[in-house]
């Protein structure tokens, strides 16, 4: 009965996803009543109104998030999604805000990440109750508006004392089930960088974000002595770094402009990249800078160098569930007589944050590095034997015929924003729907497949009333 009810909703679900995709909801500047920009607020209002028409009880949570709920019971189970999207970018072959249905696929920014899954959650819940299934727990679809820019929306939801789910999942990742997400600690550290002597660094800057391996760093070396500038040029032409790196050097008046290139990688897998700052520090060692500038590069090489496991930082560790700690240097900048850089670490789920912060902050202290900022995201770990995992595995295997293997990742999903939630779907193994890229799209076939999985998962988690 439930599956037939869902199938009868196919056209309405498709149309709803098309409509919500047509609302540009990229995060923007805060405005009155729109903490994350006008676009996300407009999409929140539309979704709440749409859910009310479907028969849900709804609530706007401080214009940051919202929820739609059906059913009765002292507890509730939840689907957690988000309505904000990344910018459309360039290179689309269709209108990114058109919600076009073509080749049995819906095209548009956010169709998969994550507006489509939010709509599926609403229709899955509606189908359950339209089918006459009585549940022990209420079903709530929770949607935020700031996931792409820090998930402050869900922090606000929790801060305001909104009800937390007894169990739930976020369809904002991949199948089968992500039950472990490493903890993340990001430091910005700073140290003096005043020049000393005739040869001095007047500019040093590189990287785009703390969670991306630095792919390029630019440095300008100033020296009034022509022979010393030539020594830098000669050293650059003979320097040999790791595979994937390159160094260019050009003379400009009494300066030599260096551009060191590495290879980018996500902060959760820094071993797949080549860090440009590590390469530059290796090169600078041969120039024998004096004073604080020379000390910075020697300290960096001693503490980090080409390592991505945190060994010299005193935090190398690993576990069987999620693997080794990783360390990524993402951004560097020198200004006002100091130089700062970021270290983004992903630590195993069975470790405590203090296992990382204690040793590494001692290393910082001993090497004269001041902590400017520290951002922390605790790990997520849901034991395989938990009822939540068991229920999701059962449904996934029944619907796909495949074993629901458990995944551990170095990144973080929306599941980290509240307890009793894991990432579950919506992308099946081996699929690529160009999330965050041009021509984001999702097949109607997979949309309906997700609707069946989601509805049955909610029934399992909420339990049929006796």
Catalytic residues: 84, 147
**Mapping DSSP to helix (H, G, I), strand (E, B) and coil, where does residue 448 land?**
helix
Distance CA 305, CA 215 (A): 15
Tokens of 22: 């047509």
Q: Structure tokens of 196?
A: 């000393």
**Ramachandran category for residue 73: left, alpha or beta (phi over 0 → left; psi -120 to 50 → alpha):** left
**Residue 114 structure tokens:** 């994550």
Dihedral sign for Cα atoms in the order 151, 157, 160, 163:
negative
> How many Å apart are CA 377 and CA 379, to the nearest integer?
7
* CA pair distance 102, 336, nearest whole angstrom: 55
Q: Which helix (H) or strand (E) holds 137?
A: none
**170, 300, 398, 424 from 391: Cα distances, Å:** 15, 48, 11, 12
Q: In Å, how far are 81, 208, 330, 336 from 217, measured between CA atoms?
A: 37, 10, 10, 18
C-alpha distance from residue 332 to each of 99, 131, 304, 343 (Å): 40, 57, 14, 10
Q: Compute the residue count for the chain.
A: 466
Give the residue ranges of DSSP H helices in 271-313. 276-285, 291-303
The residue among 98, 73, 84, 81 whose CA lies nearest residue 21 is 98
Distance CA 271, CA 238 (A): 25
DSSP type of residue 58: E
Question: Are the C-beta atoms of residues 345 and 361 closer than 8 Å to each other?
Answer: no
End-to-end CA distance of the chain: 18
Q: How far apart are CA 339 and CA 22, in angstroms?
A: 44
């Amino acid at each position: 009965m439930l599956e037939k009810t869902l199938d009868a909703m196919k056209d309405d679900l498709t149309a709803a996803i098309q409509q919500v995709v047509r609302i540009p909801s990229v995060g923007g500047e805060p405005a009155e009543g729109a903490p994350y920009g006008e676009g996300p607020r407009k999409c929140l209002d539309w979704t709440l109104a749409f859910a009310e028409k479907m028969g849900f009880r709804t609530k706007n949570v401080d214009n940051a998030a919202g929820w739609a709920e059906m059913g009765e019971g002292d507890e509730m189970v939840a689907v957690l999604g988000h309505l904000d999207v990344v910018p459309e970018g360039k290179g689309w072959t269709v209108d990114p805000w058109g919600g076009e249905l073509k080749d049995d696929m819906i095209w548009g920014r956010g169709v998969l990440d994550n507006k489509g899954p939010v709509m599926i959650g609403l229709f899955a819940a509606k189908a359950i109750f339209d089918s006459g299934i009585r549940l022990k727990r209420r079903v709530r679809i929770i949607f935020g508006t700031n996931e792409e820019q820090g998930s402050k929306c869900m922090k606000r939801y929790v801060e305001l004392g909104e009800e937390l789910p007894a169990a739930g999942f976020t369809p904002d990742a991949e199948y089968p089930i992500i039950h472990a997400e490493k903890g993340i600690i990001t430091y910005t550290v700073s140290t003096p960088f005043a020049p000393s002597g005739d040869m001095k660094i007047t500019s040093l800057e590189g990287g785009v974000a703390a969670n991306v391996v630095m792919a390029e760093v630019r440095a300008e070396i100033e020296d009034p002595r022509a022979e010393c500038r030539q020594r830098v040029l000669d050293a650059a032409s003979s320097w040999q770094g790791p595979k994937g790196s390159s160094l260019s050097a050009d003379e400009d008046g009494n300066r030599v402009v260096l551009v060191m290139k590495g290879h980018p990688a996500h902060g959760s897998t820094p071993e797949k990249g080549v860090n440009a700052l590590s390469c530059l520090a290796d090169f600078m060692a041969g120039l024998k800078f004096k004073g604080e500038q020379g000390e910075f590069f020697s300290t960096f090489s001693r503490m980090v160098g080409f390592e991505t496991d945190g060994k010299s930082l005193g935090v190398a560790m690993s576990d069987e569930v999620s693997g080794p700690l990783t360390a990524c240097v993402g951004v560097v900048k020198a200004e006002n007589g100091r130089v700062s850089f970021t270290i983004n670490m992903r630590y195993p789920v069975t470790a405590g944050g203090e296992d990382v912060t204690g040793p590494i902050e001692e290393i910082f202290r001993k090497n004269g590095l001041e902590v400017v900022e520290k951002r922390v995201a605790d790990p997520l770990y849901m034991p395989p034997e938990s009822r939540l995992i068991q229920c999701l595995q059962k449904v996934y295997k029944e619907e796909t015929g495949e074993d629901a293997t458990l995944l551990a990742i170095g990144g973080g999903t929306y599941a980290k924003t509240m307890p009793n939630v894991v990432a579950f779907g919506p992308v099946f193994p081996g699929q690529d729907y160009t999330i965050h890229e041009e021509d984001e799209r999702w097949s109607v076939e997979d949309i309906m497949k997700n609707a069946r999985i989601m509805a049955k998962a909610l029934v399992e988690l909420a339990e049929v009333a006796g």
